[in-house]
Structure 1
Amino acid sequence: MDESIYSSVSILKGVAGKRLEALNQLGIYTVLDLLSYYPFRYEDLQVKDLSDITDQEKVTLKGVVIADPVINSFGYRKTRLIFRIAIEQDVIMVTFFNQPYLKGQVKAGEEITIYGRWDSKRSSLAGMKIIGSKTAEQKEFEAVYSVSKSIQQKTLFNLVTQAYELFADQIPEIIPVSLKEKYRLISHKEAVYAMHFPTDEEQSKQARRQIIFEELFTFQMKLQVLRRQEKSVKQGIEIAYHVAHLRTFIASLPFELTAAQKRVVNEICADLKSPYHMQRLLQGDVGSGKTIVAAIALFATVDAGFQGALMVPTEILAEQHMESLDQLFDPLQVKVALLTGSTKPKLRKEILEQLANGSLDVVIGTHALIQEDVQFKQLGLVITDEQHRFGVEQRKILRNKGNNPDVLFMTATPIPRTLAITVFGEMDVSIIDELPAGRIPIETTWIRPKMFESTLEFIESELVKGAQAYVICPLIEESESLDVKNAVDIYEKLATYYEGRYQVGLLHGKMKAAEKDTIMQQFKENQVQVLVSTTVIEVGVNVPNATTMVIYDADRFGLSQLHQLRGRVGRGSKKSYCILVANPKTEIGQERMKIMTETTDGFLLSEKDLELRGSGDLFGRKQSGVPDFKVADIVTDFGALEAARNEAQQLIKQPAFFTDATYHALRMAVGIEDTEKLSFD
């Protein structure tokens, strides 16, 4: 029989055409995908006593139907199915909305079991489903799946049941027996069964525990294999710069490097000189001086006779880097060029020729750098700034333009160190964890929307001194669904308020690139004093004259994003301010505002952000390289993640992992063929 757990889900009875398409849309392509499509919650269907339940609780009640049900119509094509049931001495009303077809299952004098939401004030139950009548079999614990309009819960459950009955014996056991025993884990086959068909909450917990560890352990094994391949199989470039030249360059800088900058420069330079391929993540809080570290790494690369490339997500940021690097490198005859989508064809042609013949040392640009006709003579170092903004494929294309150049990823989104090391396990991690001396802390206050008039007066008190201000809004135009301030409305209000005294500009993501660049240039040159913007302003803009950052509906943003926005001010010698305008209706929203006023430490904020919002919001699921686990979460399951990392680090060192039949399923799961050999010297 050719059919297996890896076969298309279409081999199951009842799966074809639109149903197959619906399953594919849920990410279910194979039988294994289906069995790994776990419920996101469970309904406790154990029958409760009326005395044990609280208002608005979801409960299961059992009683005897007193009289035949009645259907009432109301509104446009809406119905109510109403009947009463007796539970011992009590009589309660049961209502099902828009499910008239259930009438046939409700008969006077018969016992019935119903799941719904209890309303203690009315002594009534808003029915969600009839679990069983007198003749039906009743479950006490039921899985609930994330489904679409094209496929129902019952259909998906029946398909999972069919798949398990046919292919349970083929479910792979990936975790080695020794680790199962060490962590007291059930088998994966048992875990899959208990995820879909648990008899109680304890059984589902045991299943989740096994699957969480397996997901994290497999992920960590993949990272360890990647790391070993980078360190042992892939030969890197030995960038033999002159230490004396580099020291002279660093001494010529107009400021002293911080201790943290010196430490990361040493880490990066050691990697450059090493014959192994560098893949390092450089984290640094807003304003910590990552750009100068990048400049030092680029200078060392050029000094050794290689070319460097710096890729950034926006043209504004590319121009800013060009301006600062050109000032540093011009006296040293290091030739730098800017390549973006806006570069004129004639200049672009010149730059491409100079990159190909080696007369251009460093190129700074956007995704324009990864176009096919961009070729380097000897690319030694690739730096990507705000690396999470680029897809994995985009970064890979740039790396492939050289002979395995060293790679430095930079991000201003602080990630707690232990989490960074664990999640970005295939990279080395460097952290700049102190700000340059003399930086004046930004004063952050939280106000309610009704105080906005006084905020306008405060902004004006700063404008009078010659400073500038940002006003950030979460939406571009008015929204019917969200009651949040929008940039267009705020722009019009501020333009009217400051008319004749100060110029107000508007910036948002729907504007054309040329329009955005014009507005930003006007703001940088102080032709515009107040810039109303959406979060398009978040990354990299440097206007030292801006001293005030006002963020509308600040509770709509995560802490890390608020911190990034706050970092747009405080870049000059003047005292700067961040004003959070918010009326949060949730405890989490209030907690965010409170934390923002108490600290300017980006790493502390990122830890709080993880606690409050989870990893998806911090990293951005699709492009950061952080996997979208089915069950595990890198924040709430951090203990399991660390244990999995430690076990993976130990196992990868054992030659038996690559040859022993015991690890065959694990090798397949991490993408290593049985014949593949890696050097571990």
Structure 2
Amino acid sequence: MSKSIDDSVSILPYVGEKRLEALQQLGIFTVLDLLSHYPFRYEDIQEKNLLEIEDQEKVTLKGNVVSEAVVSRFGPKKNRLSFRLVIEHAVISITFFNQPYLKSKIVAGEELAVFGKWDAKRKSLTGIKILGGGSSEQDNEFESIYRANKNIKQKTIFNLVTEAYRNYHELIPEIIPDFLRQKYRLVSHQAAIYAMHFPASEEQTKQARREVVFEEFLLYQLKMQVLRKKQKLIGQGTQIKYDVKALRRFIESLPFELTAAQKRVVNEICKDLRQPNHMHRLLQGDVGSGKTIVAAIALFAAANAGYQSALMVPTEILAEQHMESLDQLFDPLEVRVALLTGSTKTKERRVILEELANGQLDVIIGTHALIQEDVHFARLGLVITDEQHRFGVNQRKILRDKGKEPDVLFMTATPIPRTLAITTYGEMDVSIIDELPAGRIPIETTWTRPKNFEHTLEFIENQLKKGSQAYVICPLIEESESLDVKNATDIYEKLTAYYASRYKVGLLHGKMKPAEKEAVMQDFKDNKLNVLVSTTVIEVGVNVPNATTMVIYDADRFGLSQLHQLRGRVGRGHKESYCILVANPKSETGMERMKIMTETTDGFVLSEKDLELRGAGDLFGSKQSGLPDFKIGDIVGDFGALEAARQEASELVNQPDFLTNPAYEELRKAVGVDNLAGLNFN
């Protein structure tokens, strides 16, 4: 039987049922998966001169064993293995902890190479591993370290990779076309895979990584470009032919004038709605930039054209807020709106589902309740998902599938630099509201140290005396031995005692049941609570205009984007608002965050800084966001390669012979577009 790079890893020696299961837990199913399971770091195992070694540096030392290895025990399950090496006329103490089985490898009078951490003061080495005797030559100066799990060791993975490469290297596909390899001076993929696993030098690994990163990005960008083509060619979408004059009258009836940025994105969205092609658009807007009114305009346009719309949001509180504001806007216009959440009473739910199914309802607002099996639409034309990163890809798809190719609008208040958004969300069009409505009072931000917390409490009380409310945010719910941070429970008890009977303090955290959280939040909205102590569960969507003070404890432990989201919970009314960051930064990065937060309230400026300080993870949220989980590529650190890949992918799919040229065969196969051969891509 002929070999294939897509053979199951079970074909390799020593891969039985248990080992196969362990590999599959790491996402390794085929030989190609195994060869693409790259090391996440490398250990420099080349020998060094004793005079060159810095304290606590990991090094390899080679010398003659001059003492017997002794194992001593301390504690019920702990032991220490000790012996001495002579290196360059110096006697060095070597200690291994909890590895007594190494004793058989240590023979007095023989040469030995040991890798470990150097203690300059004691002139000793804490051993990590024995690399071999003096007679055994190390093939490379760097050792590959792999992501593993409790069921399979990284050394086992390395051995399997070695076996797989030896038997399958000739079958590794060269996906990147030759002209692009030459243009970007990339090594072959076969050479790159070899150097990633068996590096001879740092420079070789760097060149290999360039090739692997570019290939990852190119394939992703091609998939996005092909998806856009496919959506335009066979996903005809819904053509929402609203009455332009009626829509204009609705916009003119609003109690305020749209900002220039709002007008621009409204034009982009409404132009999409009238097209027969499928709308797939991301709407970005900073906290308070007015995304909701833009969504309302799109919802009105769909209703005017006879289509139903669904607005899905992550929390019941946010759903109720949208219901309240949209009902006020639409009620005089006879646009029927309903709210569907997990708390909707059975009888009311039955009526809503019936009216939705027979077309009596124009707009349905809800949480995950919208994706239940018994929710049916008569004519779903538009789906809007607010805070889209809070929903899984499959959840968003279930809602879309309740209509026949409805137009889709995603909204997020997490500012992402425009170029990064366009490149990362390659299959979407991106609209950005990059200015705040006129008259919005900037939030005054200061930072103080924990020792001044009493002054902060006095400041809060002065605001409470004026009839305002305050948030106090903590990173943890209960005490933790591992982190020296204040917790919500402690702060809640402290504030309750401090304000005594004068003011009422509430507590909100993620371990509470949904009904409990909703009740606490409702009490705060109704001003039954003066101060709300909370973890970051209030980060998104809470609108309490009467709250003017936001205190964030241990603020240096949050990223800039998250701090900005939390700050955006105040300043939503007409009163001057304040954000107080309580922190004791122990690093330059922590200090820098505090400084930046006090200098700007521009979310897009902060997002650029957050990219520099923390990377993309903090911006995009969970892995459910739909972003690719690249094996090697970093969309921030490798942004130049990501952008180059986007440009090349765009040019490739617009080539008249992209679907037929043999030079692109491996690319087409990797992207999975051969089944579109009957379509005209131009």
**TM norm structure 2:** 0.98
1:111 aligns with 2:88: no
* Equivalent pair of 1:621/1:627 in contact (CA under 8 Å): no
Separation in structure 2 between the aligned mates of residue 102 and residue 623 of structure 1, nearest angstrom: 44
Separation in structure 2 between the aligned mates of residue 149 and residue 521 of structure 1, nearest angstrom: 45
1:1-47 per-residue CA deviation (whole Å, 9 max, x = no partner) reads: 15422121111110012211111111111111111111111111111
Separation in structure 2 between the aligned mates of residue 11 and residue 234 of structure 1, nearest angstrom: 41
Alignment of 1:100-179 (within 5 A): 100-139=100-139, 140-179=141-180
Question: Once the 2 structures are TM-superposed, how far is the Cα of residue 674 of structure 1 from its aligned partner?
Answer: 5.5
Question: Once the 2 structures are TM-superposed, how far is the Cα of residue 182 of structure 1 from its aligned partner?
Answer: 0.7
Question: Once the 2 structures are TM-superposed, how far is the Cα of residue 317 of structure 1 from its aligned partner?
Answer: 0.3
1:498 is matched with 499
Residue 243 to residue 192, structure 1, CA distance change in 2 (3 Å):
same
2:617 is matched with 616
2:65 is matched with 65
Separation in structure 2 between the aligned mates of residue 419 and residue 448 of structure 1, nearest angstrom: 35
* Equivalent pair of 1:614/1:635 in contact (CA under 8 Å): yes
Separation in structure 2 between the aligned mates of residue 383 and residue 184 of structure 1, nearest angstrom: 44
Alignment of 1:461-610 (within 5 A): 461-610=462-611
1:364 aligns with 2:371: no
Which blocks of at least 5 consecutive residues in structure 2 are unaligned? none
Residue 242 to residue 575, structure 1, CA distance change in 2 (3 Å):
same
* Equivalent pair of 2:337/2:364 in contact (CA under 8 Å): yes
* Equivalent pair of 2:389/2:622 in contact (CA under 8 Å): no
Q: Which segment is superposed worse, 234-243 or 627-636?
A: 234-243
Separation in structure 1 between the aligned mates of residue 680 and residue 504 of structure 2, nearest angstrom: 64
Separation in structure 1 between the aligned mates of residue 355 and residue 234 of structure 2, nearest angstrom: 32
Separation in structure 2 between the aligned mates of residue 613 and residue 319 of structure 1, nearest angstrom: 34
Question: Once the 2 structures are TM-superposed, how far is the Cα of residue 584 of structure 1 from its aligned partner?
Answer: 2.4
1:258 aligns with 2:259: yes
Alignment of 1:340-489 (within 5 A): 340-489=341-490
2:91 is matched with 91
| 2:260 aligned partner, one-letter code | A
1:549-587 per-residue CA deviation (whole Å, 9 max, x = no partner) reads: 011111221111111110000001111011111122232
Separation in structure 2 between the aligned mates of residue 108 and residue 238 of structure 1, nearest angstrom: 83
- Which SS does the other structure have where 2:117 is aligned? strand
1:49 is matched with 49
Question: Once the 2 structures are TM-superposed, how far is the Cα of residue 175 of structure 1 from its aligned partner?
Answer: 0.6
1:207 aligns with 2:208: yes
* Equivalent pair of 2:62/2:134 in contact (CA under 8 Å): no
Question: Once the 2 structures are TM-superposed, how far is the Cα of residue 620 of structure 1 from its aligned partner?
Answer: 2.5
| 1:115 aligned partner, one-letter code | F
| 1:348 aligned partner, one-letter code | R
Separation in structure 2 between the aligned mates of residue 536 and residue 621 of structure 1, nearest angstrom: 14
- Which SS does the other structure have where 1:623 is aligned? helix
| 2:300 aligned partner, one-letter code | F
- Which SS does the other structure have where 2:624 is aligned? coil
Alignment of 1:4-23 (within 5 A): 4-23=4-23
- Which SS does the other structure have where 2:623 is aligned? coil
- Which SS does the other structure have where 2:302 is aligned? helix
Question: Once the 2 structures are TM-superposed, how far is the Cα of residue 202 of structure 1 from its aligned partner?
Answer: 1.4
Separation in structure 2 between the aligned mates of residue 152 and residue 235 of structure 1, nearest angstrom: 50
Separation in structure 2 between the aligned mates of residue 513 and residue 630 of structure 1, nearest angstrom: 36
Question: Once the 2 structures are TM-superposed, how far is the Cα of residue 677 of structure 1 from its aligned partner?
Answer: 3.1
Separation in structure 1 between the aligned mates of residue 455 and residue 308 of structure 2, nearest angstrom: 53
* Equivalent pair of 1:233/1:679 in contact (CA under 8 Å): no
Question: Once the 2 structures are TM-superposed, how far is the Cα of residue 136 of structure 1 from its aligned partner?
Answer: 2.2
Separation in structure 2 between the aligned mates of residue 378 and residue 67 of structure 1, nearest angstrom: 84
**TM norm structure 1:** 0.98
2:648 is matched with 647
1:478-501 per-residue CA deviation (whole Å, 9 max, x = no partner) reads: 223322211122111111111211
Separation in structure 2 between the aligned mates of residue 413 and residue 273 of structure 1, nearest angstrom: 28
- Which SS does the other structure have where 1:149 is aligned? coil
Residue 674 to residue 334, structure 1, CA distance change in 2 (3 Å):
closer
Aligned residues: 681
Separation in structure 2 between the aligned mates of residue 573 and residue 427 of structure 1, nearest angstrom: 36
| 1:530 aligned partner, one-letter code | V
Separation in structure 1 between the aligned mates of residue 399 and residue 41 of structure 2, nearest angstrom: 42
1:152-204 per-residue CA deviation (whole Å, 9 max, x = no partner) reads: 22211111111111111111111111101111111111111111111111111
| 1:43 aligned partner, one-letter code | E
1:337-358 per-residue CA deviation (whole Å, 9 max, x = no partner) reads: 1011111111111111111221
Separation in structure 2 between the aligned mates of residue 155 and residue 439 of structure 1, nearest angstrom: 60
| 1:536 aligned partner, one-letter code | V
Separation in structure 1 between the aligned mates of residue 344 and residue 572 of structure 2, nearest angstrom: 28
| 1:633 aligned partner, one-letter code | D
Separation in structure 2 between the aligned mates of residue 512 and residue 190 of structure 1, nearest angstrom: 54
* Equivalent pair of 1:414/1:603 in contact (CA under 8 Å): yes
* Equivalent pair of 1:667/1:674 in contact (CA under 8 Å): no
1:487-518 per-residue CA deviation (whole Å, 9 max, x = no partner) reads: 12211111111121111111112222222222
* Equivalent pair of 1:658/1:674 in contact (CA under 8 Å): no
Question: Once the 2 structures are TM-superposed, how far is the Cα of residue 149 of structure 1 from its aligned partner?
Answer: 2.3
- Which SS does the other structure have where 1:655 is aligned? coil
1:248 is matched with 249
1:280 is matched with 281
1:230 is matched with 231
Question: Once the 2 structures are TM-superposed, how far is the Cα of residue 50 of structure 1 from its aligned partner?
Answer: 1.2
| 1:632 aligned partner, one-letter code | G
- Aligned identity (percent) is 73
* Equivalent pair of 2:653/2:681 in contact (CA under 8 Å): no
* Equivalent pair of 2:472/2:551 in contact (CA under 8 Å): yes
* Equivalent pair of 2:656/2:681 in contact (CA under 8 Å): no
Alignment of 1:321-332 (within 5 A): 321-332=322-333
1:564-617 per-residue CA deviation (whole Å, 9 max, x = no partner) reads: 110000001111011111122232222222211111111111121122222223
Separation in structure 2 between the aligned mates of residue 3 and residue 283 of structure 1, nearest angstrom: 48
Separation in structure 1 between the aligned mates of residue 437 and residue 226 of structure 2, nearest angstrom: 38
Q: Which segment is superposed worse, 654-663 or 467-476?
A: 654-663
| 2:366 aligned partner, one-letter code | G
Which blocks of at least 5 consecutive residues in structure 1 are unaligned? none
Separation in structure 1 between the aligned mates of residue 573 and residue 241 of structure 2, nearest angstrom: 37
1:36 is matched with 36
* Equivalent pair of 1:659/1:674 in contact (CA under 8 Å): no
1:97-135 per-residue CA deviation (whole Å, 9 max, x = no partner) reads: 222222222222222222111111111111111212133
Separation in structure 1 between the aligned mates of residue 457 and residue 676 of structure 2, nearest angstrom: 69
2:196 is matched with 195
Separation in structure 2 between the aligned mates of residue 541 and residue 620 of structure 1, nearest angstrom: 18
Separation in structure 2 between the aligned mates of residue 299 and residue 97 of structure 1, nearest angstrom: 69
| 1:511 aligned partner, one-letter code | M
1:199-233 per-residue CA deviation (whole Å, 9 max, x = no partner) reads: 11111111111100000000000000011111222
1:446-504 per-residue CA deviation (whole Å, 9 max, x = no partner) reads: 11111111111000000001100001111222223322211122111111111211111
Question: Once the 2 structures are TM-superposed, how far is the Cα of residue 69 of structure 1 from its aligned partner?
Answer: 2.5
| 1:113 aligned partner, one-letter code | A
Q: Which segment is superposed worse, 12-21 or 310-319?
A: 12-21
| 1:404 aligned partner, one-letter code | E
Separation in structure 2 between the aligned mates of residue 623 and residue 234 of structure 1, nearest angstrom: 24
1:631-670 per-residue CA deviation (whole Å, 9 max, x = no partner) reads: 1110000000010001001000012221122212111111
Separation in structure 2 between the aligned mates of residue 509 and residue 100 of structure 1, nearest angstrom: 45
2:628 is matched with 627
